[in-house]
Chains A and B, each alone.
Chain A
Amino acid sequence: MKTSAFSSNKQSVSPTDTHAIDDKTQLLSLQNVSYYIGQQRLLSDIDIDIAVNETVSLVGPNGAGKSTLVKLILGLIDPTKGGIKAHQPLQLGYVPQRFTVPPILPLRVSDLLGQANKTRLTPEQRQFIFDNLSLTHLLSRQMLHLSGGETQRVLLARALLDKPNLLVLDEPMQGLDPDTEVWLYQFIDQLPDFLRCAMLVVSHDLHWVMRGSRRVICLNKHICCEGQPSELAISTEFQKLFGHYYEQPYVHQPHACTHRAPSELEL
């Protein structure tokens, strides 16, 4: 059924049959979520289910509403329409896109990490995070004096120390050099069992997004398409949105996006 769908109708990247296979328990559901600022519609009719321990990548051009969607999922803003339902108590972890400590606040790395929950992980597990993100030698440094890569590592550790069941990474690799980027992506791809959690990764890096078997959601104020990378890469819609060179920075052409409504996609 899958193969026929691909050969006959390139549009139908079905969101249902792809993750029905590895779906166990749902963690979070966005139901028909829209978000407006005044008359301006930032997001419309978003339906997303995130299962326990599932990794979802979110891609989309600038201004697609990725950060707005992240804020909705984190509960920092409330949807104008629709609802967000957690199927079990959420413990959120968040690595923000930009992070600057106000210079008036003297803050060492250890102070920032101390703001995380101290009891959810055992000392050994905490040490594992420090070791694998090579943080031990940074602990006494000022947050203000860290490089971009160091800051991202600290923030990732800060989020993981809370032992989240949903980890949200909002363009975690922005401004990092390629080596650090690969290294960090490898780290989150290979989290040990005690840190296993659902992940929502907002990314510009289509190279990473398209590797592996994570579910990809491609957003442009609505959900344009969604599915496994192998299926998405050959979908016309994705090609139109990102072109053939998905490892390069893309230029979004809004008019090329002739998507169908999510309900039609399921047919």
Chain B
Amino acid sequence: MTAWLAIIAPAWIAGSILALLSAPLGCLVLWRRMAFFADALAHGTLLGVALAVWWQLPMGIGIGLVSLVVVFGLVLIDDERLPSDAVLAVVAVSLLCLGLLTLTQLTDHQANVLGFLFGNLLELDWADLPLIAGSVAVGLGLLIYIWPAQIKLATHEALARIQGINPTRQRLFFMGVLAGFCAIALQAVGSLLISGLLVLPALTARLWSKSPKHMVIIALLIAQLGVTLGVWGSIWLDIQTGLSIVLILAILFFVALIVSKLIAKKFWSARH
């Protein structure tokens, strides 16, 4: 156990730090109905990484570039006849295909493809932690800054606007934080599962919460639990960390859902 601990400690800590940002961000993603967008952006990070490897640029630049293209591309293909969730799904799969194609055909990273798709936290060592912690701190700072405005926009856009909140600016700000998160979460859970890490703790928390603050706190706890169990589980099952983290989160979600339904049923049968 202790021998294992030394190996997984950096991964565990990195995952926990990441979960500090993913939980509140995931709540906002749900409230602002951006789950599909987050998914598209997450798949975009794969292409970003692939391009960065191909052109021998830092990965941050590749991911930033692709995120910008995604945001502007979405503005361009905005068409009122097409439902935006379907458009986002199309963008997501296109980015995934392009990313995989670039990664496997144009670079020598074929061996790492699974890692990019499903994440591999265990490859991290202590030297990577300061960068992750710093990025998460910046992300949290930005999130706290935009938080009140974002909640008002999620509640009622017109009411928020007459209080002087600029929805476009807020949306861009939020997209920026989301893109940054995708960049740092790629290592942990991989591009396929980033949206799972974002959305699952928040969804589970919704079942048990009465206010936005509750939901964030519960999501934080669930995300920590998921990361901890997930990191240990990935060693136990010898699978990618992303797979086991998201699997644990999914199990937690379904258990919470069933329990909450049973409680609700009991409550009603007791009253009638």
Q: Which residues of A contact B (CB under 8 A)?
A: 71, 74-76, 92, 94, 96, 99, 101-102, 104-108, 111-112, 115, 117, 140, 142, 158, 162
Contact = CB atoms under 8 A, between A and B. Distances in A.
* Closest 9 pairs (CB-CB, A-B): A92-B162, A106-B209, A105-B31, A104-B30, A111-B211, A115-B152, A108-B211, A94-B162, A74-B162
Q: How large is the interface on B (under 10, 10 to 19, 20 to 34, 35 or more residues)?
A: 20 to 34
A74 B158 contact: yes
A225 B271 CA distance: 56
Contacts of A162: 163
Contacts of B214: 106
A96 B211 contact: no
Given A102-B33, A102-B154, A158 B159 contact: yes
B109 interface: no
A101 B209 CA distance: 15
B interface, by DSSP: helix, strand, loop or mixed? helix
B155 interface: yes
B43 interface: no
B81 interface: no
Contacts of B206: 104, 106
Nearest to A74: B162
B261 interface: no
Contacts of B161: 74-76
A101 B157 CA distance: 11
Contacts of B155: 101, 105, 107, 112, 115
A78 B158 CA distance: 14
Contacts of A106: 206, 209-212, 214-215
Contact of B151 (A75, A92, A115, A158): A115
Contact of A75 (B148, B159, B162, B212): B162
A108 B162 contact: no
B212 A107 contact: yes
Contacts of A105: 31, 154-155, 212
Contacts of A142: 210
A41 B215 CA distance: 45
B208 to A, nearest CB: 9
